[in-house]
Amino acid sequence: MQPEEIHIKFPEGNPLDLPKATTAREALIKRGQGSLKKIVAARLNGESIDLTRALSQDGTLEPIFENDPEGLEILRHSTAHLMAQAVKELFPEVKLAIGPAIEQGFYYDFAKKDPFTPEDLPRIEEKMRALSQGNIPIVREEFSREEAIRLFSSQGESFKVEMLEELTEPTVSLYRQGNFVDMCRGPHLTSTNGSRFYKLTHVAGAYWRGDEHNPMLQRIYGTAFFEKKELDDHLFRLEEARRRDHRRIGRELDLFSIHDEVGPGLVIYHPKGAMLRTLLEDFEKKEHLRRGYEIVIGPQLLRADLWKKSGHYENYRELMYFTEIDGQGYGIKPMNCLAHMMIYKSKVRSYRDLPKRYFELGTVHRHEKSGVLHGLMRVRQFTQDDAHIICTPDQLQDEIRGVLNFVAEVMKIFQFDFEVEISTRPEKSIGSDQDWARAIEALIFALKANGLSYSICEGEGAFYGPKIDIKLKDALDRRWQCATIQCDFTLPERFDLQYVGADGERHRPVMVHRVILGAMERFIGVLIEHYAGAFPTWLAPVQAVILSVTDRNASYCQKVFQDLLATGIRVELDIRNEKLGLKVREAQLQKIPYMVVIGDKEEEQGSISPRTRSGENLGSWSVPQFIDRIREESVPGKQ
C-alpha cells in the first residue's frame, strides 16, 4: 500500500487499497456496486456518511440501500430539507427551526407570523417538485462553530444560532442545496432529484423544543418513499386510519365523549361505550380467575409518605396529583402497586403461599400535559387491568412465562399480532445495578424460553425495574403499546416484603408488575380502530336490532324483543313508522351485527328474517335458532 493510500474492507469480497480522498461512491463502484442506483449512503466503521464524502482513513465500508430502514430515514430527512427550501422560497420571512425524519415520514418547524393553511401545502409541494426536477446537488460543508453562527446570524435564523451557541463541538456540518443551507449531521441524498415521491399531510402547532414557555411554531408534516406505489399505499393507509379514527367512530356509535367543561383527558362513557367496557372487564375477570389471580381493590388516595418510600415522589411526582387532608399530604394513585404490597404485608407469608397474584381493575390518574392528550389513547384518568405477582426468585421464570402465554392467548382472541421490546434502566431510577441485571436476565430468559424474538429499547424501563413491552399490530399494521411486564427487585426491598422459606428463615420475594390489555381506555380506542367500529358479536354493545316492516307487526316485534332480552342477548327494538330501507341503513351505520326483520310473513309463520350488517340475508329462521347462533358467537374469540 502506498503512503497516500487507504485500506478499505467491505462486508463481502476482498479489500481494496485506494487513493486517499476517494469518495464512498467511488469506492463502492470500484468494489463492483455498479451504478449505485439503489444505494443512498454508506457506513464507514459504523458511521453513516454521504456517498460524496472523501475517505481519509482505513476502515470497513458498507452500502446503505433504499430498502434499509436507515435508507428510508435518509430520504425523508433530505425531503424535509427540500420542503424547508421550498418554504423559504415561497415565504422568505419564515425562520427555520428543526426538521427531522420520524417513524411515518418527516416534519419541519417554522416560525411564521401568520399560520400556514391547508391551502398552502399544494403550493409548497409544487415548489418542491420544481426544486427536485432541478437536480440540485446536496453538498456537505464543514464550518467552525463561530463561522456557522455568523452565517445564520446574517440570515436572521435565530433558532439555528441558539442551537449552535449550545454546542461544544468546534466544527459543525452544514448542507447546502442551491441558495438554501441548513445545519445538519447528515447524511443526505446526493441531489434534490432523489426526493420525488412525497406528500405533505397536515399542519400543526408545536412549541419550540417542546416547551410551552417557548414560542409557538408551525409544524408541517409530510412523508416520502422511494417508489410511487409505496407512497400510494401509505396514503391509502392514512386515509383508512382517518376513516377508522376512534374519536369519529366514538361519536357516530355514541360510545363516549370528552368535554372541556368536564376537563381535558377525562372520559365520559355513554351507555353503549359503558357496555363495551363492561364486556371487556367481565372477560378480564374470568380470564384472571381461571389463572389463579385474586381480585383486590385499593384506595384512590394514599399518604404522600408512602409515595416517598416507594420512590414515586422523587421519580414520578410530575405526573401525580397531590392534595391535603387533616394536615396530611396525600397522593392520588398513578399506579396500583403500593396497595397490593400492603395486602401482601398484612400477614406473614410462607414460601408455600407463593406465588400471590393480586389483580385489580384499578383506576389511576396521571397529570399528562394537554398537548399529548388524544381521545382515548392518552387521557388523565384511566383504568388498568393491573396485577402484581409476588413470588420467590425460583418461581420468577415460570411466572414471567405464564404472563407471556396469557398475553399471547388474549391477543389471539382479539386478532392481534405483536412484537416485543425489552426496555432497560432509565437515567432516573432506583435500585442496585446487580438487581437491574438480575431482572433483565430474567426477562430475556423467559422470552427465549417462549421462543419470542425481541429488540432492546435502551433507557425506557420503569424507574424501579426493566420491562417487556408488547407492541400490538392492528388491521392497518400500526403498532400500539398495551401489555407490559416489569420485573422488580427494588420495591420489595424498600417495603421489606418477606416470606418464610423452607429453611425457616426470612427471605426477600420478587415482584412482577404486569398488565395484559393495559389501560382500558387506550385498548378500547385501539379496538375501535382495529375493527373500524364493527365489533365481533361477543363484544358488540348491541348484538341485534329488531326492525318492523309495518305498524301492524309491532306487537309481534315486542314479543320477539322480550324473548331475546330474556336470554341475555343485547337487543334493541325499532318499530318506528319509517321505511324498512331507512331503518336497515341506520342499523348498518351503527355497525350492529344482526338486523332482525319482521313483517306479515314472519308474524304468520312465527319466524324472523335475520340479516348481517354486511348485507347478507340469512332467510327465514326460528327464534330459538337465532338465539343459538348469538350464543355461539358470544364466546370470546368467536368472530
**HSE-CB of 563 using CA atoms within 13 angstroms:** 19
The total domain count for the chain is 4
Q: What is the CATH number of the domain that holds 610?
A: 3.40.50.800
Q: Please name the residue that has the C-alpha cell 363484544.
A: 539
> Does 130 lie in the same domain as 103?
yes
> pLDDT category, 380, cuts 50, 70, 90?
very high
Q: What does the pLDDT average to over 82-105?
A: 95
Contact 430, 464 (CB under 8 A): yes
Q: Which one of 81, 244, 337, 378 is the catalytic residue? A: 337
Q: What does the pLDDT average to over 392-397?
A: 94
> Does 343 lie in the same domain as 442?
yes
Pairing mode, strands 139-144 and 105-111: unpaired
Other C-beta atoms within 10 Å of 117: how many?
A: 8
Omega into 137 within 30° of 0, i.e. cis?
no
Q: Which one of 182, 385, 386, 474 is the catalytic residue? A: 386
Q: Is residue 412 part of a domain?
A: yes
- Gap between the Cα atoms of 298 and 363, Å rounded: 9
Q: Is residue 122 part of a domain?
A: yes
Q: Which one of 31, 366, 570, 611 is the catalytic residue? A: 366
Asked about 386 being catalytic, the answer comes back as: yes
> pLDDT category, 34, cuts 50, 70, 90?
low
Strand partners, 596: 546, 610
Contact 637, 413 (CB under 8 A): yes
> pLDDT category, 40, cuts 50, 70, 90?
very high
- Gap between the Cα atoms of 362 and 496, Å rounded: 24
Burial class of residue 146 (count of CB atoms within 10 Å of its CB; 0-12, 13-18, 19+): exposed
430: pLDDT strictly greater than 90: no
Total count of residues recorded for the chain: 639
Q: Which one of 31, 357, 467, 522 is the catalytic residue? A: 467
Q: What percentage of the chain reaches a pLDDT higher than 90?
A: 86
Q: Is residue 622 part of a domain?
A: yes
Q: Is residue 548 part of a domain?
A: yes
> Does 216 lie in the same domain as 189?
yes
Q: Is residue 261 part of a domain?
A: no
Three cell numbers, residue 500: 418464610
Three cell numbers, residue 126: 409544487
Global pTM value: 0.81
pLDDT, mean over the chain = 93
Q: Please name the residue that has the C-alpha cell 395486602.
A: 343
> Does 604 lie in the same domain as 468?
no
Q: Which one of 85, 177, 218, 384 is the catalytic residue? A: 384
Residue 35 pLDDT: 60
Q: Which one of 388, 514, 591, 611 is the catalytic residue? A: 388
Would the CA dihedral through 612, 616, 621, 624 be positive or negative?
Answer: negative
> Does 32 lie in the same domain as 114?
no
Q: Is residue 43 part of a domain?
A: yes
What is the widest separation between alpha-carbon atoms in the chain? 102
> Does 227 lie in the same domain as 101?
yes
Asked about 20 being catalytic, the answer comes back as: no
Q: What is the CATH number of the domain that holds 82?
A: 3.30.980.10
DSSP secondary structure letter of residue 506: E
- Gap between the Cα atoms of 537 and 544, Å rounded: 9
Q: 437 CB contacts (<8 Å, ≥6 apart)?
A: none
The residue segments making up the domain with residue 291 are: 279-298+334-530
> pLDDT category, 462, cuts 50, 70, 90?
confident
Q: What is the CATH number of the domain that holds 52?
A: 3.10.20.30
Asked about 513 being catalytic, the answer comes back as: yes
**HSE-CB of 27 using CA atoms within 13 angstroms:** 37
> Does 98 lie in the same domain as 218?
yes
> pLDDT category, 211, cuts 50, 70, 90?
confident
Q: Is residue 241 part of a domain?
A: no
pLDDT tens digits along 131-161: 999 999 999 999 999 999 999 999 999 999 9
**Degrees, nearest 5: CA angle 258-262-265:** 50
519: pLDDT strictly greater than 80: yes
> Does 292 lie in the same domain as 205?
no
Q: Is residue 132 part of a domain?
A: yes
> Does 441 lie in the same domain as 583?
no
Within 145-215, strands assigned E span 171-177, 180-183, 197-207
DSSP secondary structure letter of residue 96: E
